[in-house]
């Protein structure tokens, strides 16, 4: 695949490395704030300026919350399929989805591209459905991240907690704060821990008097986001595998759920 990178920060650079390892080409990099770029980089400040964008089969967008919606709209107008991992712009989703559809272009977005996390969601949701009839099991969990993480709870924690309370009737609301009181029986307690260099960890726990069932996902680094974003790009532009050429892109708005559904992950 020929890939344009939109946003060349921590994620953009990891995607670049992972894409090159898999035999893909980076044909353009769009980022207005790269200090001292290497000469080999086809770097542009905006999507509109990027002359080599026409060569790209897909754009992988990890930029800033305030930039993502306009980037995706500009890419859609040029009919470049977009895989977007930027978070914090979803208040403009309707406008962006409208622009992508009007241009008959393609967008696959996900707040977390890690394949492991997306599979973990399904494991946790299936587990919640299994535990629904067993009132003796309380349910809750926690998430832990390094002490530089800006937001709390993590977006992944919210997705997990909201998905689980839909499936366990005795739980009706997620509570993310540390509690100075016992949680109410219908509260799904899912607090956050910020500590040192902890890798992103999400644990879901079902606890009864005689035993505990715990399921946990631990990320070892950011590479899982990059490989998931590249897997999503393969899927979006029908690329048969690493290093191979893209086919005809799927048109419309997609998420990682569509990718997992097609892979048969139930
Ligand atoms: N979906 C996922 O799996 C996933 C994983 C990790 C991070 N993220 C999200 O991805 C985004 C980027 O994360 P990061 O760690 O790479 O951040 P970062 O701050 O390291 O990089 C962001 C880059 O975007 C650039 N940028 C700013 N304005 C731009 C514009 N108009 N066009 C193009 N580039 C622009 C900045 O100069 C910077 O280089 C964040 O929103 C983060 O929350 C998502």
User: Looking at the annotation, which residues are catalytic?
Assistant: 145, 149
H helix or E strand, kind and range, residue 129: helix 115-131
Give the pLDDT band (50/70/90) at residue 266.
Answer: confident
Mean pLDDT, rounded, for 157-186: 97
Q: Tokens in use for 240? A: 């048969």
pLDDT in the model for residue 44: 97
Give the pLDDT band (50/70/90) at residue 65.
Answer: very high
- Rounded to two decimals, what is the model's pTM? 0.92
Tell the residue nearest (CA) to atom 2 of ligand 1: 112
Q: Tokens in use for 115? A: 């394949």
Structural domains for the chain: 2-113+222-263 (3.40.50.720), 115-218 (3.30.360.10)
Given a contact cutoff of 8 angstroms between Cβ atoms, the answer to whether 96 and 73 are in contact is yes
- 166-169, long-range: CB within 8 Å, 24+ apart, which pairs? 167/125, 167/128, 167/129, 167/132, 168/128, 168/131, 168/132, 168/139, 169/132
- Return the percentage of the chain with pLDDT > 70, whole number: 100
Given a contact cutoff of 8 angstroms between Cβ atoms, the answer to whether 183 and 143 are in contact is no
71-106, pLDDT tens digit by residue? 999 999 999 999 999 988 999 999 999 999 999 999
Counting Cα atoms < 13 Å in the Cβ hemisphere of 253 gives 14
pLDDT in the model for residue 263: 87
User: For ligand 1, which residues put their CB under 6 angstroms from it?
Assistant: 6-12, 30-33, 62-65, 67, 71, 85-88, 110-113, 225
For ligand 1, mutation pick of 85, 90, 150, 254 (most atoms within 8 Å of CB): 85
Give the pLDDT band (50/70/90) at residue 248.
Answer: very high
Mean pLDDT, rounded, for 198-226: 96
């Amino acid at each position: 695949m020929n890939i344009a990178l939109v946003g060349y920060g921590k994620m953009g650079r990891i995607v670049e490395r992972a894409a090159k390892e898999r035999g893909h080409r980076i044909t353009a990099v769009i980022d207005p704030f790269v200090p001292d770029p290497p000469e080999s980089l086809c770097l542009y400040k905006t999507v509109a300026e990027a002359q080599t964008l026409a060569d790209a089969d897909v754009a992988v967008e990890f930029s800033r919350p305030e930039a993502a919606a306009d980037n995706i709209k500009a890419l859609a107008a040029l009919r470049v399929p977009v895989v977007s991992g930027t978070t914090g712009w979803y208040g403009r989703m309707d406008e962006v989805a409208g622009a992508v559809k009007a241009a008959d272009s393609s967008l696959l977005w996900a707040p977390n591209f890690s394949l492991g996390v997306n599979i973990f969601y399904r494991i946790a949701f299936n587990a919640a459905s299994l535990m629904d009839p067993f009132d003796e099991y309380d349910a809750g969990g926690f998430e832990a991240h390094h002490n530089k993480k800006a937001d709390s709870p993590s977006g992944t924690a919210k997705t997990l907690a909201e998905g689980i309370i839909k499936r366990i009737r005795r739980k009706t609301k997620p509570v993310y704060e540390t509690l100075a009181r016992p949680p109410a029986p219908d509260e799904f307690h899912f607090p956050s821990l910020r500590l040192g260099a902890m890798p992103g960890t999400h644990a879901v726990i079902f606890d009864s008097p005689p035993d505990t069932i715990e399921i946990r996902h631990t990320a070892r680094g950011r590479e899982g986001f990059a490989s998931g974003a590249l897997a999503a790009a393969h899927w979006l532009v029908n690329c048969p595998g690493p290093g191979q050429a893209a086919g005809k892109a799927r048109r419309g708005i997609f998420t990682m759920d569509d990718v997992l559904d097609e892979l048969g992950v139930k």
